[in-house]
A and B are shown apart, each in its own frame.
Chain A
Amino acid sequence: MHSIWSRANSVFAFTLTAMSAVTFAVFLSTIWSQRVTDVTILATNPRVRVMPDYISESGRSDHAMVSLNIEADVSPIFNWNVKQLFMYLVAEYKTPKNTINQVVLWDKIVLRSERSVVIETNAAPKYYFIDDGQHLRGHENVTLYLKWNIIPNAGYLANAKAEGSYQVKFPSQYVSGRF
């Protein structure tokens, strides 16, 4: 019980056990913490054009553009077990071809800081808003909402949807030329 090996063995085993217990406690302590907050979303200047698309069966797809305005104060979400938030804006809509379509238009990684506020003004979407088909022209009900993935230091990966969405109506005419 006094050799260097048995001492090292005991210390190592105890360290592992203690670290596992603390990690589990960190996970348990934040299971019921606040995940959702209010946000404001506004999308202006919606327009649609049709573009050649090698992926779709018809060879052409609708491509939509809007100008995004997002205001989100996510400071209350950050507790000691939150490493970062992965925030993303989703456009969800229904078409005759697909009952559910979800497209991520924009995302942002929000790291921990003094006060985490995200303000985007007239931002262009980061990713192409391309429909699976040609059903965006004249679409009255495309809902934009904000979600975030809470990445913990250790524990449960939660996806939370913020309160506050915006409904976009697309014009019934395609835009041609410069977009």
Chain B
Amino acid sequence: MAIFDYPIFDEIRRMNKRQVAYQVLNFAMIVSSALMIWKGLMVVTGSESPIVVVLSGSMEPAFHRGDLLLLTHNREDPIRVGDITVFKIEGRDIPIVHRVIKVHETASGEIKFLTKGDHNQVDDRGLYAPGQYWLTDKDVVGRGTGFVPYVGMVTILMNDYPKLKYTVLGLLGLFVLIHRE
């Protein structure tokens, strides 16, 4: 147990049960606050994924890899041409952020639309599921309403280097547990 002889762990050795419980409670408070903020955002924006990170360069030069998009999903407001929609193809998990270039709406309100990335030469029909030529409301995760550059780079780095993700999370957890303030 030589590792616990370092001064950084003095705090733990001096703690009694009540202080340990306090630290754990502190940790739980931080985690649940983060969760509340996330779920609160989901309710306010109406989207199951209120913040997405742009993963590909298909919308350059507007959005680059690592930019952050705030999504809202207002089902009352119909999809119109020019909207930046985030959608998921049936059977695939990855959300795609592209622009709507064609909309056809019937009298009963059924909408079918076609998307294309700004930087792509062709529209997205090649990306849709086999036999699917149009997207509908149920494929939509949300519409891009807000934009913050670069901030999402952290998520991309953590996804590309999973070891980095575990190290950062591990270190964070450790520091919250052993730090008194």
0/1 per residue, A63-103, Cβ < 8 Å to B? 00000000000000000000110101010000001111111
| Known contacts A55-B133, A147-B82, A149-B84; is-contact A104 B101 (Cβ 8 Å) | yes
Q: A157, B146: Cβ atoms under 8 Å?
A: yes
**What's the Cα separation between A135 and B82 when bound, in Å?**
23
**What's the Cα separation between A107 and B101 when bound, in Å?**
10
Q: B118, A86: Cβ atoms under 8 Å?
A: yes
**What's the Cα separation between A100 and B81 when bound, in Å?**
11
**What's the Cα separation between A157 and B97 when bound, in Å?**
14
**What's the Cα separation between A140 and B164 when bound, in Å?**
61
| A152 (CB) vs chain B CBs: closest residue | B147
0/1 per residue, B139-160, Cβ < 8 Å to A? 0000011111100000000000
**What's the Cα separation between A98 and B112 when bound, in Å?**
10
Residues of chain B lying within 8 A (CB to CB) of residue A23:
148
- Restricting to A95-128, which residues have a CB under 8 Å from any CB of B? 97-104, 107, 109, 111, 127
Q: A104, B148: Cβ atoms under 8 Å?
A: no
Q: B147, A102: Cβ atoms under 8 Å?
A: no
Q: B101, A109: Cβ atoms under 8 Å?
A: no
Decide yes or no whether B180 CB sits under 8 A from chain A: no
Interface of A, secondary structure class, is strand
Residues of chain B lying within 8 A (CB to CB) of residue A107:
118
0/1 per residue, A138-166, Cβ < 8 Å to B? 00000000010101111111010000000
**Which of A98, A107, A153, A155 gathers most chain B CB within 10 Å?**
A98
- Closest Cβ–Cβ distance, residue B16 to chain A (whole Å): 26
Decide yes or no whether B61 CB sits under 8 A from chain A: yes
**What's the Cα separation between A55 and B63 when bound, in Å?**
31
- Restricting to B34-55, which residues have a CB under 8 Å from any CB of A? none
Q: How many residues of A contact B (CB 8 A)?
A: 30
Q: B118, A109: Cβ atoms under 8 Å?
A: yes
Q: B102, A100: Cβ atoms under 8 Å?
A: no
The contact of B146 among A97, A102, A156, by CB within 8 Å, is A156
- Restricting to B73-87, which residues have a CB under 8 Å from any CB of A? 80-84
Interface pairs A-B: 7 shortest CB-CB: A102-B81, A100-B105, A104-B101, A102-B103, A132-B104, A151-B62, A55-B133
Chain B residues in contact with chain A, CB under 8 A?
Answer: 61-63, 80-84, 99, 101-107, 112, 118, 123, 133, 144-149
Chain A residues in contact with chain B, CB under 8 A?
Answer: 23, 55, 83-84, 86, 88, 90, 97-104, 107, 109, 111, 127, 132, 147, 149, 151-157, 159
Q: List, sorted by A's number, 20 A–B pairs whose CB atoms are closer than 8 Å.
A: A55-B133, A83-B61, A83-B62, A84-B62, A98-B107, A100-B105, A101-B103, A101-B104, A103-B101, A104-B81, A104-B82, A104-B102, A132-B104, A147-B81, A147-B82, A149-B62, A149-B99, A152-B147, A156-B146, A157-B147
